[in-house]
Amino acid sequence: MKDFEIFTDSCCDLPIEYIEEKKIKFARLTCSYDDKQYFDDLGQDLSPKQFFKDLRNGSVPLTSQPSADEFYNKFKSIIDEDKDILYICVSTGLSGTENSATVAKNMILDEYPNSNIAIVNVLTASLGQGLVVMKAIEMKENGSSFEEIINYIETKKQKMNSYMTVDDLRHLRRGGRLSSATAVLGIMLHIKPILTINGEGRVMPIIKVKGRKTSIKKLVEIIVERIEEPENQIIAISHGDCIDEALALKEAILKSLKVKDVIINFTGPAVGTHGGPGNLALFFMGKERQNHII
């Protein structure tokens, strides 16, 4: 059986220590603001704390998908090692990253017709995507084949639940996730919406709650109601430089559920540009995704 590598992109928001330990190659999105461009490379080029500090001080970032050249060079380095590639990709409903990857894949296939590059759109982002990468790595280490891992992801991805709340609606408004009128009204009334990533891989608000504490409490209620086989899975929490609230969310969840593990990490610039400082997100395997407002 031909060897293969698990590949991803920087929207996965996995801790850089894990990426380095498992030697995972990834494509970098970019983030630009204040006349500077940074690679979204899991905190190496731009620290998450500095990024969210800059947002709090009024910087307005723009993000871009990786170039086709970025993908081509990294794909080629793996193909040159005579390995296949399984690319676990951020949702096409959130980023055009898959388009660049497909261009690069076709360039590789023109040069290396016998190469095998599978691009799997997981229809989520941040640590939801990260959890899928971790599961794929675990399966590969346990002897699962290229095809078995792809089949598992395609079968299970609609069960990857992604729920989040934000502290400042202006960032969602800038990114087109909320209308201007809804954002202004929400700011005036201290509304903290709960959002999800639906079955099409797009962000949608599902619940309106008043106040930060209530929104965090609602995240706990959601996971308790929707998670399946919690004792056998890792859940993940990402945050926009609000570690105390992330830890409080973890503690509240562990009071209600027994889970295998909880990982916490910063939201990276590609996702954090839209969520803003204080964004808090929760990812777990559970019931099929929601596609409607509660």
Condensed to tens digits (0 to 9), the pLDDT of residues 164-213 reads 998 775 645 454 444 443 443 444 335 678 899 999 999 888 888 888 89
pLDDT in tens, 93-118: 999 999 999 999 999 999 999 999 99
Q: How far apart are CA 248 and CA 231, in angstroms?
A: 20
Is pLDDT above 80 for 294?
no
Three-state SS at 167: coil
pLDDT band at residue 275, thresholds of 50, 70 and 90? confident
Sequence-distant (≥ 6) Cβ neighbours of residue 259 within 8 angstroms:
230, 231, 233, 234, 235, 253
Are the beta carbons of 289 and 198 closer than 8 angstroms?
Answer: yes
For residue 286, give both structure tokens. Answer: 């559970």
Supply the mean pLDDT for the chain: 91
Determine the pLDDT at residue 267. 96
pLDDT in tens, 240-269: 999 999 999 999 999 999 999 999 999 999
Q: How far apart are CA 196 and CA 292, in angstroms?
A: 10
Paired sense of beta strands 160-165 and 84-89, if any: unpaired
pLDDT band at residue 293, thresholds of 50, 70 and 90? low
